[in-house]
Homo-oligomer: A and B are copies of this chain.
Amino acid sequence: MKVLIINPNSDPEMTAAILRTARKFSRGRFEVDAKSTPGAQGFIETYEDQALSAPGMIKLLKENEKKYDAFIVACHSDPHLDVLKEITTKPVVGIGEASMKLATMLGHRFSVLTDNPHSIPNKEVQARTYHLEGLLASVRAPEKTSGGGEMEMYGKAAKTAVEKDGAEVLVLGCAGLTGMDKKLCGKLDVPILDGVVCALFLAVGFAEAGISTSKVRRYDPKG
């Protein structure tokens, strides 16, 4: 069982961090690799950034399709997830879709922690795309004015989500936050989902079960 994680941006450090999380989770039970997307921006924040990742992501998938059993899109906005689901018969899982859908199985409502206020409407749109708007408690970004180091600011945002917005589960809303679940966890009594981990056990599960994207209509590559 081999999984390829596609990092939609071109930052090798983020790719390495994602791979560390993935291998720490796999512990040799399955193989996992990660690749940065050639030609993509170093960080994906805007709609334009997302659009520019498409050619490289398509290329990566097509070149590696035979070598892997399942694929993961490791940017929490799930850019071009529909394209990748369409062009391969193997399972493709986005870390945004995986983490937000699994969050709904663990508590009443979930909040997404994201890196800046620009992403708040985008996360709300994404939650609605997955029919999760009624289960989303809030999207929270660290407030620069709340003081303290980065981890403290995220901790405060997380606490507000749980105590004020009614979240019972938290989702890390950016691949760049991978690993932060362990750091925040000690201070909060709620599950914190890292999309990389969620996507991994879903992708492997689908592949082991022999199920993948339906090719009837929506994801039929022949149109």
A55 at the interface (CB under 8 A from B): yes
Which residues of B have CB within 8 Å of A198?
Answer: 205, 209
Kindly supply a per-residue 1/0 record for chain A positions 22-54, scoring 1 wherever the CB is within 8 Å of any chain B CB and 0 otherwise: 000100010000000000000001111111101
Q: Tell me the bound Cα distance from A214 to B183 in angstroms.
A: 17
Is residue A18 within 8 Å, beta carbon to beta carbon, of the partner chain?
Answer: no
Q: A93-B105, A105-B97, A218-B121 are in contact. Are A205 and B201 (CB under 8 A)?
A: yes
Q: A216 contacts B107, CB within 8 Å? A: yes
Chain B residues with CB below 8 A from A86, complex form = 46-48
Collect the chain B residues with CB atoms within 8 Å of residue A222's CB: 46
- Contact check, A218 vs B108: say whether CB atoms are below 8 A apart: yes
**Does A80 interact with chain B (Cβ within 8 Å)?**
yes
* Known contacts A118-B223, A134-B133, A189-B216: A211-B47 contact under CB 8 Å: no
This chain's copy number in the assembly: 6
Q: Is A58 part of the binding interface, using a Cβ–Cβ cutoff of 8 Å? A: yes
* Chain B residues positioned under 8 Å from A162 (CB to CB): 216
How far is it, in angstroms, between the C-alpha of A49 and the C-alpha of B55 when the chains are bound?
Answer: 11
Are A191 and B211 within 8 A (Cβ)?
A: yes
14 contacts between A and B (CB under 8 A): A46-B86, A46-B220, A48-B221, A49-B223, A51-B83, A101-B104, A105-B202, A106-B214, A108-B124, A108-B125, A121-B218, A168-B216, A191-B211, A191-B212
B interface footprint on A198-217 (CB within 8 Å = 1, 0 otherwise):
10111011101101111111
Contact B108 A131 (CB under 8 A): no
Size category of the A interface is: 35 or more
Which residues of B lie under 8 Å from residue A104 when comparing CB positions? 101, 130-131
Bound form: Cα–Cα A98–B211 in Å: 14
Let me know if A145 is at the binding interface, CB within 8 A: no
Q: Mark A94-138, 1 if CB is under 8 A from B, else 0.
A: 000110011011111100000011101110110011111111000
Contact A205 B208 (CB under 8 A): no
Q: Which residues of B contact A205 (CB under 8 A)?
A: 198, 200-202, 205
Choice from B48, B125, B215 contacting A58 with Cβ under 8 Å: B48
List B contacts of A216 (CB < 8 A).
107, 162, 168, 189-190
